[in-house]
Amino acid sequence: AQRVTQPEKLLSVFKGAPVELKCNYSYSGSPELFWYVQYSRQRLQLLLRHISRESIKGFTADLNKGETSFHLKKPFAQEEDSAMYYCAPLREYGNKLVFGAGTILRVKS
Amino acid sequence: DVKVTQSSRYLVKRTGEKVFLECVQDMDHENMFWYRQDPGLGLRLIYFSYDVKMKEKGDIPEGYSVSREKKERFSLILESASTNQTSMYLCASSFPSGEETQYFGPGTRLLVL
């Protein structure tokens, strides 16, 4: 079965510290990978996708096929980054996403 | 801006009631999804529809059914609500390529007593 693991339920960092939200997936090949974010009282929205190789709000995510990981990183956390983050690879068959359990990022001042 | 709307933000129902959750999108998306969001479990796919009158079971379809009579509208039906269906329900839509962004509604928080 295709699995996505986000090992941390909660990640708490101080403002200005580096952030790494971990994501590991279990299936072979080169899946398309996404990070979605949900800020307080807002709807879930796309943060970034692997295929675009872009940086959004200072976040980047690199696909490591050897480790089957797609960790989300930001060099200097801001208080407005506090949110729930979901890693979501595309399923191997069909155009549906598999969501991880999510990680709450709390940035303290 | 893509708009995905859900009929209710909060809903309280009694065990055994039939519950309808409605979702409407205005971007002519072929794909529509229903998820439930629970702490520690993330989002789990209940049902998926890739066209009018077409549907596919997701990972947790038991106790749910869906209806897609028009392209813009996707309904989730709880035939006989149970307390373990208390949850946040999210609707989403996307274009069919699979690489496209999924756009989410604001969610319906359902409490079954």
Residue B78 forms contact with A (CB below 8 Å): no
Q: Does 2.60.40.10 match the CATH number of domain A4-108?
A: yes
A 43-62 residues inside an 8 A Cβ radius of B? 43-46, 49, 51
Identify all chain A residues contacting B106, using CB atoms and an 8 Å cutoff: 43
A81 phi/psi in degrees, rounded to 5? -80, -10
In this predicted model, what pLDDT tens digit does every residue of B1-56 receive, in sequence order?
Answer: 669 999 999 999 999 999 999 999 999 999 999 999 999 999 999 999 999 999 99
Return the pLDDT at B84.
Answer: 97
Q: Where are the domains of chain A?
A: 4-108
Cβ-defined contact of B41 to A96 (cutoff 8 Å): no
CATH architecture of B4-94: Sandwich (2.60)
Beta strand ranges found along B14-100 (DSSP E): 19-25, 31-38, 42-51, 54-57, 64-70, 73-78, 87-94
* Strand A103-108 with B42-51, pairing: unpaired
**Sheet containing A10-14, strands listed edge to edge, beginning at the edge strand earlier in sequence:** A10-14, A103-108, A83-89, A33-38, A45-49
In this predicted model, what pLDDT tens digit does every residue of A2-28 receive, in sequence order?
Answer: 789 999 999 999 999 999 999 999 877
Alpha-carbon distance of A58 to A22, in angstroms, equals 16
Return the pLDDT at A95.
Answer: 73
Name the DSSP letter for residue A81. G
Of A10, A18, A90, nearest to A50 (Cα)?
A90
Cβ-defined contact of B99 to A44 (cutoff 8 Å): no
Residue B98 forms contact with A (CB below 8 Å): yes
* Strand A69-74 with A60-64, pairing: antiparallel
Q: Which of A10, A34, A44 is the best substitution to test chain B (most B C-beta atoms within 10 A)?
A: A44
Identify all chain B residues contacting A94, using CB atoms and an 8 Å cutoff: 56, 98
